[in-house]
């Protein structure tokens, strides 16, 4: 007797649940919590939340991290709450997410610390910013902000206090008020991480910013490993996003992940920010990690940026030299994030008209784990505000992924400025979809969706094309899109089509 067919796994989509300029009003957890049911209904399964640990002030996004063990619980650095809110409101977000089947990914900032409580004297040498292995001064005594006592928290959760010998480098000498990159020297300091344990850019890219943690020191590694288990007990998480992983020990990160897997069943998702436009470096890093680990596909973001700015660029090269093209299981695909958004250091501009095409390319194909961005879904605040992008199409594209983007894929990449592809569906998710996009004039593709759909009428779920396509007896249809646009065709009678007529509420800041 033949085995019963297994259900088709459901497509998963994640959301980066913040942008750099979210108002610092300590209400972000509450706003996000209210939108969890809607996000789930439109196809979001997991949310990457911003760094929830206490920053250098209640205005800081958390990458200027002060205390790992303060999730908005203690009166430190000017307030109890972080920029995002209190620990109580974070726990409420967790409860609501659990109720609606949405996982949360924690943003772990483990490379450095900021806003020390006091200065300490230590020996250091200055190094060349472009080659950190090249010393540019003799060893001399500096006064560095490296004393962390956490007076607002005291001994709660961890008794570890940080001193100069727990750090490998700093960027400021308070004695002469000089800014430079200082490598800390001393009997208990190991200097920079060993070659091969961090990225080799700039000679040795151990130092990034602030007070750089030295994971060769056993007290540092023990405390941060203990924090990982503490975090898992405090919050019902589904995974972790690791910040700046090319700047600290690969060996420590493997140990951190292994520890969590062994203690909590191995079901967490782990993704690292290895932001570099080098496919070779990314694949080598993944091979060295030696386990289920993912990276954000930075080369794909740069491809999107370049194609969007070049009139009539060849769309067929959009996946060249990208992580998703060679290691699709390990690739988190994205269009923009908090580092590449406008006015940020790694800004990678993507023209507004191209964003719907870019999101279609990550959401409706058969490879990669796509990540939506809060700024595109809800807009950007701050001094240079931007409205939500994609003309209302982004929630619909996420929903189309959840409902229809299944099964075998057939590509129609035969024309430089007009791409098409078909997803044939599966035995239990049978509707499938047909996609056409153009970065020039109106596009048209004759594509095969299958004889099983003969006689069906397919229409664009985005509503950007009014073409009704009747599928022929041979399974073919003539699908179209507008100028510099995209269309996603699905059987007009398919289950779930009524949802596309609803309005997604993108006004997350409404009181």
Q: Which is catalytic among the residues 70, 126, 214, 273?
A: 273
Q: What pLDDT is stored for residue 2 in this prediction?
A: 45
Please indicate whether the domains covering 14-107+219-404 and 409-501 agree at the CATH topology level. Answer: no
The domain limits of the chain are 14-107+219-404, 113-217, 409-501
DSSP 390: G
Domain boundaries 113-217, CATH class: mainly beta
Tokens coding 486: 């995209």
Query: What does the pLDDT look like over 186-225, one tens digit per residue?
Result: 865 568 988 788 999 999 999 999 999 999 999 999 999 9
Q: Residue 474 is inside which H or E element, if any?
A: none
Taking Cα atoms as reference points, which of 10, 154, 183 lies closest to residue 75?
A: 154
Q: What pLDDT is stored for residue 1 in this prediction?
A: 38
Q: What pLDDT is stored for residue 310 in this prediction?
A: 86
d(CA 329, CA 374): 24
Any catalytic annotation for residue 273? Answer: yes
Q: What pLDDT is stored for residue 511 in this prediction?
A: 60
Quickly list DSSP for 101-114: T-EEEEEE--SEE-
Decide the pairing of beta strands 239-242 and 103-108. Answer: parallel
Tokens coding 461: 């779920």
CA neighbours closer than 13 Å in the CB half-sphere of residue 501: 5
What is the CATH code of the structural domain delimited by 14-107+219-404? 3.20.20.80
Cα–Cα–Cα angle for 421, 399, 314, rounded to 5 degrees: 35
Q: In CATH, what is the architecture of 409-501?
A: Sandwich (2.60)
Write down the pTM of the prediction.
0.96
Phi-psi region of 221 (alpha: psi -120 to 50; beta: other; left: phi over 0): alpha
d(CA 323, CA 320): 9
Q: Which is catalytic among the residues 33, 45, 64, 243?
A: 243
d(CA 280, CA 299): 11
CB atoms within 10 A of CB 192: 22
Decide the pairing of beta strands 418-423 and 433-438. Answer: antiparallel
Name the E strands within 393-456.
409-415, 418-423, 433-438, 443-448
Q: How far apart are the first and last CA of the chain?
A: 60
pLDDT tens track, the chain, 511 positions: 345 789 999 999 999 999 999 999 999 999 999 999 999 999 999 999 999 999 999 999 999 999 999 999 999 999 999 999 999 999 999 999 999 999 999 999 999 999 999 999 999 999 999 999 999 999 999 999 999 999 999 999 999 999 999 999 999 999 999 999 999 998 655 689 887 889 999 999 999 999 999 999 999 999 999 999 999 999 999 999 999 999 999 999 999 999 999 898 778 999 999 998 899 999 999 999 876 899 999 999 999 999 999 878 999 999 999 999 999 999 999 999 999 999 998 999 999 999 999 999 999 999 999 999 999 999 999 999 999 999 999 999 999 999 999 999 999 999 999 999 999 999 999 999 999 999 999 999 999 999 999 999 999 999 999 999 999 999 999 999 999 999 999 999 999 999 999 999 999 997 6
Torsion angle (degrees, nearest 10) of CA 317, 330, 270, 45: 70
Any catalytic annotation for residue 194? Answer: no
CB 165 within 8 A of CB 219: no
CB 60 within 8 A of CB 83: yes
């Amino acid at each position: 007797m033949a085995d019963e067919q297994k259900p088709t796994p459901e497509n998963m989509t994640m959301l980066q649940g913040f942008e750099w300029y979210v108002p610092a009003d300590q209400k972000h957890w509450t706003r996000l919590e209210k939108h969890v049911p809607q996000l789930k209904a439109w196809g979001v399964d997991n949310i990457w939340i911003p760094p929830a640990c206490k920053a250098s002030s209640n205005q800081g996004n958390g990458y200027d991290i002060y205390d790992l063990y303060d999730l908005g619980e203690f009166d430190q650095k000017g307030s109890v709450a972080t920029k995002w809110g209190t620990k109580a409101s974070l726990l409420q977000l967790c409860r609501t997410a659990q109720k609606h089947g949405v996982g949360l990914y924690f943003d772990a900032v483990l490379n450095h610390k900021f806003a020390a409580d006091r200065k300490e004297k230590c020996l250091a040498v200055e190094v060349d910013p472009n080659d950190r292995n090249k010393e540019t001064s003799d060893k001399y005594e500096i006064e560095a902000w490296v004393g962390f006592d956490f007076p607002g928290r005291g001994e709660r959760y961890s008794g570890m206090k940080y001193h100069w010998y727990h750090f490998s480098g700093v960027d400021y000498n308070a004695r002469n008020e000089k800014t430079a990159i200082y490598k800390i020297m001393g009997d208990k300091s190991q200097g920079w991480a060993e070659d091969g344990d961090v990225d080799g850019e700039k000679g040795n890219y151990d130092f990034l910013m602030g007070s750089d943690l030295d994971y060769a020191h056993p007290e540092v590694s023990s405390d941060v490993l203990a924090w990982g288990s503490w975090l898992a007990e405090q919050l019902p998480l589904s995974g972790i996003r690791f910040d700046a992983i090319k700047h600290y020990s690969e060996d420590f990160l493997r140990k951190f992940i292994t520890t969590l897997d062994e203690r909590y069943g191995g079901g967490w998702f782990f993704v690292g920010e290895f932001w570099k436009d080098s496919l070779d470096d990314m694949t080598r890093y993944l091979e060295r990690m030696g386990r289920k680990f993912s990276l954000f596909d930075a080369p794909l973001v740069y491809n999107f940026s370049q194609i969007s700015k070049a009139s009539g660029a060849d769309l067929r090269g959009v996946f060249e030299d990208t992580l998703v093209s060679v290691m699709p299981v390990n690739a988190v695909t994205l269009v923009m994030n908090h580092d590449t958004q406008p006015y940020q250091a790694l800004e990678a501009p993507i023209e507004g008209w191209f964003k719907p095409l870019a999101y279609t390319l990550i959401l409706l194909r058969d490879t990669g784990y796509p990540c939506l961005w809060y700024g595109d879904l809800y807009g950007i605040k701050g001094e240079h505000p931007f409205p939500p992008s994609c003309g209302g199409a982004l929630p619909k594209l996420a929903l189309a992924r959840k409902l229809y983007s299944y099964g075998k894929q057939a590509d129609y990449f035969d024309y430089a400025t007009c791409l098409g592809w078909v997803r044939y569906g599966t035995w239990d998710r049978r509707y499938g979809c047909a996609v056409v996009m153009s970065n020039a004039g109106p596009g048209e593709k004759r594509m095969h969706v299958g004889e099983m759909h003969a006689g069906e009428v397919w229409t664009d779920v985005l509503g950007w094309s009014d073409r009704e396509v009747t599928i022929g007896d041979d399974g073919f249809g003539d699908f179209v899109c507008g100028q510099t646009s995209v269309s996603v065709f699905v059987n007009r009678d398919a289950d779930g089509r009524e949802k596309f007529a609803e309005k997604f509420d993108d006004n997350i800041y409404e009181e």
